[in-house]
Structure 1
Amino acid sequence: MSKLPSNVDEDEDGMDIDSNLQLERSQQIASRTLAAATALAKVLRDAPEWLSDIRRLQPQDVIILLTPVVFPVSQEPTDSSDPFEPLGRYLSRRHAKIRHVPYTKRHGITSTHLGFIKRGHAIILCLAEQPLQLELVDIVLAIRGDKPVVVVCCSPLDTKQALPFPTVIDTAGYSRPALEATAELIFAERSLPTAHSLPDSSNESTVQPKVWPVEDFVEQRDIASVATLWLACLGERFALDQQTLANVLRKPGYSKHYVVRNPSTGETLGFCATYLSYVDREGEKLVASLAILVVHPQTRFRGIGLSLHNHAINSLKRTRGIIRLQLGSTFPRLLYGPPSDDQSSDEWFRRRGWQFDKGAPGQGQVVHDFLLEFKDWHYRPGSSSTTEYRVCTQDDMTKVIDLVERTSALDDRLGWFDQYWTLINGPNVKDIVVAVEEQDIVGTALTYSPGGSQMSNNIPWPCRIGNDVGGVTCVSMFPDKRHIIMSGLINTCVETLRTQGMKRLFLDGVTDHSQFFTNLGFKEWARYRDVWKSV
C-alpha cells in the first residue's frame, strides 16, 4: 500500500485510509474546484508573458492595483465597503508590497495614479462597468515604461468586443470568490486553460488583437513595401513615389521609424514614422512627432497599430528634452495632423489620449493647406503702407530668428524655429521674405521651389501637385500685424516665386483667417486637425 500524502487525515485507530479511494475523492474535488475556478477567472491573452514577470518580482518590488469605485456586490444602500478591497488582501497574501489605489469613472487616471504607476514595478488595472473605459488602459500602457500591465475585466464581455491589450484576465464579476480566483491565477497557484483569443465569436474569421514585434525601419529593406502600404492606406490624394517618400523619411539623427512585418513573408503590415524638432536656440527643448501610423486595410484590428503606437510613444518619451508629442508632423511634413475628411480612426486615437473635439490648439483646431493659381491672385496694395517687403539678407537673420522664436511660441507653432535656424550662414537665406517697419523685422515667410532647398524635401506636396508649384511656409508675425502686412508679405512671396518660373503657390499650416486667403484667390487643398499634448 502506498503512503498517503502528508496532508491526508488518518482514522481514529491510526490506520491509513485506503489511498486509492482517497486519491479518487481528491481528484474529484480538485476537478470540481478547477471547473468552478475556471468559470470565475481565465486568461484571455498573455502574449508578452507579463504574468510570468509578475511571478518573478522581488519581495521588495511594488505592485500597483488600480480598481474602479463601484457599487458593492450586495447593492445595499448602507453598504459602503469597497468591493475590490478583498482583491488587495488576496494579492498581499502572495506578494507583500501591494499598493491599492482606486479611481473614479469621472476622473479616471489622474496625476496621483501616474505617480504611483511610475514608482511601481507592475500594474494590475481592473475594469468593471460597461461601457468599459478602455482609454484608461491605453494611458497606463503609454506610461508604463518596461513594467508588466495586467488588465482584469470584471464585466461581462460582448463576444465581439475587442480588448487589444497584451495581457487580459476575464472574471465573472467582482465577487469575493471571483477576485480570489483572480489572485490565484495571477500567481499561478492553479493551472487554467489559457484562451489566446477573446470569447468565441460567431464570425470564425475574426482575428483577435495581439502584441506584434516592432522592428526599426531599414530603408534598403523596407522602403518599397512601405511605399506600397502608403498608397493602399492614403490613396491618390496623398500619394508619394518611392524616392520622394524616402527623401522625406531620411533625416539622420532626428528621425526614427518602425515597421511590423509578416514573420513568414517579410511583407510590411504596418508602418510608423517619428521625428524630432528643436523649439528654440537653446537646443534643449524638442517637439516629438508621431508623424504617420498606417496599417494595411486587410490586417487591421489585430493589434498592429497598437503595437506600433505604444512602441513609438515609449521610445519618444525616453528622449531627453521632449516637451510636446504631436500627432502628425510639422517638418519634415507627411501630414500636418489627422485629415478632417477621414475620421475613421478618431475613436482609436482618442482612446490613446489624443483629443480631437475641442477645436483648440492641440485638441482638434482646424489647419488648412491652400493652393493658389497666380492668375487668380487678388492682391490690392495699401496706399498708405510704410512697410517694406524684400528678400532677407544675412544681416537680417538675428532679428528674423528672434521674431520667429517669439511668435512660434505665442502661436503654438513649435518646430517652425528650426526651419529658420538651419538657414543661418547658408546660401538659402534668400529664400526668406521679410516685412520691415522702421528697420524692425515685423513679419517673415519661407519660400521654396522644386529642388531649390531642403524645404522642398521637407514638404513634398508642391512637387506632388506639379513642377510649377512653389511653396510658402512658416509665415510668422505678431497677431496685431496680420491684417496690416499679411497680404503684402504673401504678394512678395508670389513675385519671388514667379521670377523662378512658378505658376502656382502652395501655402501650408494656416490655422485661422481662412476666409482671408480665400478672398485673395486661394483654394483649399487639404484640411487637418491640429492634435498634440504636452509632456
Structure 2
Amino acid sequence: MLPGQSTTTSGHRGGSRRSQVTLIRDHQACIPLTRILGDGDIVVLLTPVVAPAQPDVGGGSDPFEPFGRALAARHPWIRHVPYTSRNGMTGTHAGFIKRAKAVVFVISGPPSAGQSSQVEMGLMARMIGEQRPQIIVACQNVHDLGLIEANFPTIVQLPGYTSSDLQSAAAVLFGEVTATSTGTTGLDVQSLMIEPKFWPPENWDGLNVVPVHELWNQCLPDQFHLEKFPLQSLLQRDGYAMHFVVRLPENREVVGFCATYTTFVDREGERLIGSLAMIIVKPAYRRRGIGLSLYDHALKQLKRIRGVDRIQLGSTFPRLLSGIPAASASEGWFRRRGWQMNGQAPGRGQDICDWILNIDDWPSSGLSAASAGLSFRQGTFDDFNLIADFIEKESARKDHTGWYDQYMNLANDGRISDIVLGLEQSQIIASALIYTPNEASSLAQDLPWARTIGSDVGGVACICIADGNPAMTTSKDTAMIRLLDACVTILKEQGMRRVFLDAVKGGYEGFQSMGKLQDPNYDSLNINVTFSKGFKNGRYIKIYGSQ
C-alpha cells in the first residue's frame, strides 16, 4: 500500500451488501470532514451526469442522489450540483465552489469517445477552489483514471457508484467508520506508480498553436490566460525563439511544451542571455518524466548557442512570465535542480509584481513641475546616443537583462517619443518606456498583459533611475514619482484611463512616498494614490532566477 493508505469495509444503512472503500491519501488531513466543518459551513458535492450503475434504478434518476442524501443526513449544508461532460465547470459551479468550505468531487470513470475528461474537470474545480480542501471520490481504480499522476491531495476510491458504495463512502467521509490498514485487497504500490522515463522532445514548428494554447490555459491560473493569437505572436519569433513539445506516441497529442528565447545583453551583440521561459505538462501526465525531459533538452540546446553565457528562469522580452508564479508548487522542483531562490540578489529569486493605477486617482498637478534644473519630457532623435549610453550603463549595473534591446528597438522603429526621460540639467537621470495596448510598437507586442485587461490600459515598462551618480542631487524617490507622473500625463492624453506598471521589483518598494497602496487580496487602505496589486482578480507576483 501507499504510505497513509488504508482500506475500510463497511455496511450501509438499510442494505445487506458490504462495500470496500479505500483511502488512497489525505495530504490535506480533511477526513473525517467533522475535523474541518462547523455549523453553517457549506460542502459542495459535484457529481457527473451519468447512467445509473444499478439496473433497478430507473426513471432517469441521478445515481448520486443517494450520496447527496447520505452526506446531508450527517451535515445539513450539502449543496449537490451535477456537472456534464459537455459543459464542464461553468460559472454556476464556480459560484458554489467559491462559497464552499470544502468540495467533494466525484469521478465515475474515464471519458467516452468525444467526451471531456472528468479528471481534467476535477483539476479545474481545484483551481477555482484555490486553497479549499477538495476530496476526490473515484468510483473506479485510481490508476486506470490517472489520478495519481494528476496529484490530487485527497483521494477516496470506491469499487463503483452503487447506492451501497456511496453510503459507505459517506460514512467514511464523516468518520463513522474508522479506516484501518487490515484489509488485504488494497492497491499494490507498483500498480499506482508510473516510473518516470525519458520522452523525446521535438522541435515545435509553430504552425498549429491550438494544442499549445489549450495546454497553456489548462495548466495556468486564470490571471495568466491568453487568447490564441496574442500567445501565437509571443511564441513565433524568428531568430529569438526555440520551443519544444512532447507528444504521445500513439496519437501525437501534445502533452508537454517548453518555450525558450535568446536575447542580446548589450550593444555589442556578442553576449546573449538564454531564457527558459515556460515548461507546462498536461495535468494527467505529470510525474512521468515529461517535464524533466523537456527541461534537460532545452538547457542543452540553449548552452549550444554561441554567445549564451547565462540562462534565466522566465522570459524578459517577449514576456510570457518573468519567472515562477509566487507560491507555485514548481518552485521546489526548480530548487532541486540548482536554481537559487533566496531573494538576496538579482537572479536569485527576488519578488516582482505588476501594478494597475487608475489615472483619475493620480494628482492632477504639481508633481512634474520643473525645479532646480529637473525636467521631464519625451525623447527626440537628438537624444539617441545619450539614451543608448545611459541604458547600457544602468541596465548592466542593475541586471536589467533585455532592456537595452527594448529601448533601441523603439528608437530604431521611429518611436523614440515613447521613451520618457528625466533630466537634471542636460544629463539623463531617469527613463521609462510607454505604450498603448492596440498600437503596433515592438514593446506593446512583447508585453501582452495590459491589453488582456482592457483597451483603455496603457503601459509603463523598463523604469530606470540612475544609481551611483555623484553628480545627481535629486533623490531616487523624487525622480521615480515625477517620471511616473510624466508617463501618466502622456498616456492620459492618448486616451488611457488606467496604467499598467510592468515587473516592479520588491513589491511596494519605490512607491511608498506616493501614499498608501491598495491590495485587493487584503483589507482596503485609506490612500491618496490608488494602485492595485495584480489584475483580473488575481495576484500577479512572480519569482525569477538564473544559472
1:411 counterpart letter in structure 2: K
Q: Give the 3-state SS of the residue equivalent to 2:291 in structure 1.
A: helix
Query: C-alpha deviations, 1:465-518, integer Å up to 9, x for none?
Result: 111111111111213652231111111111111111111111112113724426
Matched, 1:277 2:271: no
**Distance in 2 of aligned mates of 1:465 and 1:529:** 22
User: Does residue 428 of structure 1 match 2:437?
Assistant: no
Tell me if the contact between 1:403 and 1:477 (Cα under 8 Å) persists in the aligned partners: no
Range with bigger deviation, 276-285 or 368-377: 368-377
> Is 1:367 aligned with 2:381?
no
The answer on whether the counterparts of 2:374 and 2:424 sit within 8 Å (CA) in structure 1 is: yes
CA distance in 1, matches of 2:354, 2:374: 27
Q: Hey, what's the Cα distance between the residues in 1 that align with 2:464 and 2:218?
A: 36
Residues 260 and 304 of structure 1 are in contact (CA less than 8 Å); yes or no, is this contact kept in structure 2? yes
- Aligned match for 2:477, one of 473, 483, 496: 483
Alignment correspondent of 2:457: 469
SS at match of 1:388: strand
Mapping 1:405-416, distance limit 5 Å: 405-416=392-403
Tell me, what secondary structure is at the counterpart of 1:220?
A: coil
Conserved in 1, the CA contact under 8 Å of 2:435 and 2:458? yes
Question: Which of 519, 528, 533 is the equivalent residue of 2:542?
Answer: 528
Where do residues 66-77 of structure 1 align in structure 2 (5 Å cutoff)? none
Q: Kindly provide the amino acid, as one letter, of the partner of residue 502 in structure 1.
A: M
Counting matched residue pairs gives 334
Structure 1 residue 310: Cα displacement: 0.5
**1:403 — aligned with what?**
390
2:489 paired with 1:495: yes
Q: Distance in 1 between matches of 2:419 and 2:277?
A: 26
Please give the alpha-carbon distance, in whole angstroms, between the structure 2 residues aligned to 1:378 and 1:261. 54
1:418-438 CA-to-partner distances (Å, cap 9, x unmatched) read 111222343211111111122
SS at match of 1:329: coil
CA change 1:382–1:446 in 2 (3 A) is closer
The answer on whether the counterparts of 2:352 and 2:507 sit within 8 Å (CA) in structure 1 is: no
How far 1:203 moved relative to its partner? Answer: 5.3
Q: Which of structures 1 and 2 has the bigger CA Rg?
A: 1
Q: Which runs of 5+ in 1 are unaligned?
A: 1-161, 163-199
TM-score by length of 2: 0.59
> Displacement of 1:354 after TM fit?
0.8
Name the CA shift for 1:428/1:409 in 2 (closer, same or farther; >3 Å). Answer: same
Choose which of 306, 331, 351 in structure 1 pairs with 2:336: 351
C-alpha distance in structure 2 between counterparts of 1:474 and 1:245, whole Å = 22
Deviation at 1:385, TM superposition (A): 4.5
Cα deviation, 1:217-236, whole Å, max 9, x if unaligned, reads 12223x10110000111121
Give RMSD over aligned pairs: 2.0
- Counterpart of 1:512? 506
In the other structure, the counterpart of 1:301 is 287
**Residue type of the alignment partner of 2:214:** T
- Structure 1 segments, 4+ long, off by >6 Å, are none
Query: Share of identical aligned residues, percent?
Result: 41
| TM-score when normalising by structure 1 | 0.60
Q: 2:249 aligns with which of 249, 259, 263?
A: 263
Aligned residue in 2 for 1:326 = 312
Query: Equivalences for 1:7-26 in 2 at 5 Å?
Result: none
* 1:198-220 residue CA offsets vs partner (Å, 9 max, x unmatched): xx962513222100010111222
CA deviation after TM superposition for structure 1 residue 360, in Å: 2.3
| Unmatched tracts of structure 2, length 5 or more | 1-148, 150-186, 469-474, 516-528, 535-539
* 1:376 aligned residue: 361
Task: Tell me if structure 2 keeps the 8 A contact 1:295–1:304.
Answer: yes
Does 2:431 correspond to 1:444?
A: yes
Deviation at 1:295, TM superposition (A): 0.7
2: CA distance, partners of 1:325 / 1:489: 32
